[in-house]
Structure 1
Amino acid sequence: MSDQDSRKKVEVCFSPYLFPLYKDEFDIIVVIDVLRATSAICAAFHNGVEELIPVSTIEEAKEYQAKGYKVGAERGGSIVEGFDFGNSPFSYMKANLKGETVVLSTTNGTKSINIAKESGQVVIGALSNLDVLKDWLEHQDKNILCLCSGWQNKFNLEDTICAGAILDHLLSTGKFRSEEDSSIAAKYLFLSAKDNILGYLKASSHRRRLKNLNLNKDIKYCLTPNKAPVIPVLEGDRLVTVESLITK
């Protein structure tokens, strides 16, 4: 076997709608929803949340709420009526959440997590945990898929740029190979945007959507790299951190 053939694969999938085309080929699936679910998840763990349960539907969220859990729910960028918070990263930086188990349901991100979990180890990716995630993935020696949550199954820029950053780093190590055009596109989008991600995404659809909801503070946080250097991974139905698994 040649050196090229022995390298692990890393690819980018633009949306959950396309995931069935990739799902049986990868050991690790990095779920990315920069604006805002995976950024909020990283913020939660960086703040000291112990576990986070991602659920796909409002009905599931209500069931957990009835059991006494702290539950966040977001649809279309807004907090769902009847819930205490949505998917703003700042909602998860409160002292009363430290050491707690939190439940979250969002428009795109938590659905992507639950779509991916039958196919491999799910890891949470965002710009906010970019460097620690890249370094950890580099040493896993496994085939890796970056799954962009997109917007309602459609392509979006911010998730693709984040995926491109991960892919670019992994390819630069010489340990990985990539074959898909989607991965090439993600890499070059990242290289175009990397010097000013916030400015590059000024006209992106979801940034405009959130700006219309007066969520500029969230946008700036989510598009700033390395604000929450943690690596959340799915264990069963719950997200925990790689660090917590190591110390068990």
Structure 2
Amino acid sequence: MRKVEVCFSPELIHLFDLEDKIVVVVDIFRATSTMVAALANGIESILSFADLEACRLMKEKGFLIGGERNGLTAPGFEMGNSPVAYLSGEYSGRKLAMTTTNGTQAIEKSKGAFEILIGAFPNLQATVSYIQDQNKDVLIHCAGWKGHFNLEDSLYAGALVKSLESTHESSEDGAMAMSLLFEKVGHNLKGFLSQASHAKRLQNHGIEEDIDFCLTLDLYEIVVKLDERGFLVKV
């Protein structure tokens, strides 16, 4: 069987070998959920930036620009980091440049992998099926919160590990632990994750609708990956 492991923070990614692995980057609240929502609802492609200013400059090249820091829309940006902002299809056909507090940093630190996928609950099963067709070891890279462990990304990791168990075995304790946690609480994602620190931060901003979307399973049958040009695209 192939192996699956979990990196709980970008601060730990240097401890893992990325070569010849599929890396699944996950930032449930909200970057990777927003990316999946945007591409499923008409955004042509997404260019991910770790740096705020570099992303802001893409407006001059005709990109829609989305910027978030500390849960809020960054000054000078058209969009923040809300998945529900894309559900109407209003931005269909546009290219999006995006930078966030945690998720786009994790994408940048995942470069060097065989392939980078974007993980979110709304396209979980599609991602599982795609991975199982590739016959590669998998590393789940949790964006966390400013270098720290968080519950929502780690629980998604557990869902992915559990869903891959017919083809991939846990190669370390973190993957095993998160699989067991998802098995125990996965039937009540919203109830369990309402206790998570970042969920509470977002609730303080009044965006419960975003949280509901981010914790909805299998809305879309799309896979999101980084292509050879550096754009996130749906396949």
**TM-score of the superposed pair, with normalisation by structure 1:** 0.91
After TM superposition, the structure 1 = structure 2 runs for residues 88-237 of structure 1, keeping only pairs within 5 Å, are 88-171=82-165, 173=166, 175-235=167-227, 236-237=229-230
For residues 151 and 88 of structure 2, what CA distance do their matches in structure 1 show?
Answer: 30
SS of 1:196's equivalent in the other structure is helix
Largest Rg, 1 or 2: 1
Kindly provide the amino acid, as one letter, of the partner of residue 83 in structure 2. Answer: P
Aligned equivalents of 1:15 and 1:55: distance in 2? 18
- TM-fit CA distance, 1:18: 0.9
> Is the CA contact 2:19–2:112 (under 8 Å) kept in the aligned structure 1?
no
1:24-103 equivalences under 5 Å are 24=18, 26-103=20-97
> Which residue identity does 1:234 align to in structure 2?
L
Give the unaligned 5+ runs of structure 1: 1-6, 243-248
Per-residue CA deviation, residues 192-217 of structure 1 (Å, 9 max, x unaligned), is 22110000111100000000010111
**Distance in 2 of aligned mates of 1:24 and 1:39:** 23
CA contact (8 A) 2:18 2:112 kept: no
- Is the CA contact 1:10–1:144 (under 8 Å) kept in the aligned structure 2? yes
Structure 1 stretch displaced more, 189-198 or 17-26 = 17-26
Aligned residues: 234
Are positions 1:241 and 2:227 aligned together? no
Q: By how many angstroms is 1:179 displaced?
A: 2.1
Question: Which whole-Å CA distance do the structure 1 matches of 2:20 and 2:201 have between them?
Answer: 33
Shift of 1:119: 2.6
- The structural deviation recorded for 1:92 is 2.0
Q: Percent identity?
A: 38
Q: 1:93 Cα deviation (Å)?
A: 2.5
Q: What letter corresponds to residue 238 of structure 1 in structure 2?
A: F
Contact 2:47 2:96 in 1 (8 A): yes
- Report deviation, 1:70: 0.7
Question: 1: distance between equivalents of 2:66 and 2:203?
Answer: 21
- 1:119-178 CA distance string (max 9 Å, x none): 33100001111111111111210011111111111100111111111111111x1x2222
Contact kept, 8 Å, 1:40 with 1:87, in 2: the verdict is yes
Shift of 1:25: 5.2
8 Å contact from structure 1 (residues 11, 183) kept in 2: yes
Q: Secondary structure at the match of 2:46?
A: strand
1:71-99 per-residue CA deviation (whole Å, 9 max, x = no partner) reads: 00000000001111111002222433112
Q: Partners of 2:4 and 2:151 in 1: how far apart?
A: 19
Matched position secondary structure for 1:190: helix
- Structure 2 length normalisation: TM-score? 0.95
Gaps of 5+ in 2: none
CA positional deviation for 1:26:
4.8
Q: What residue identity is the alignment partner of 1:61?
A: C
Change (3 A) 1:65 1:23: farther
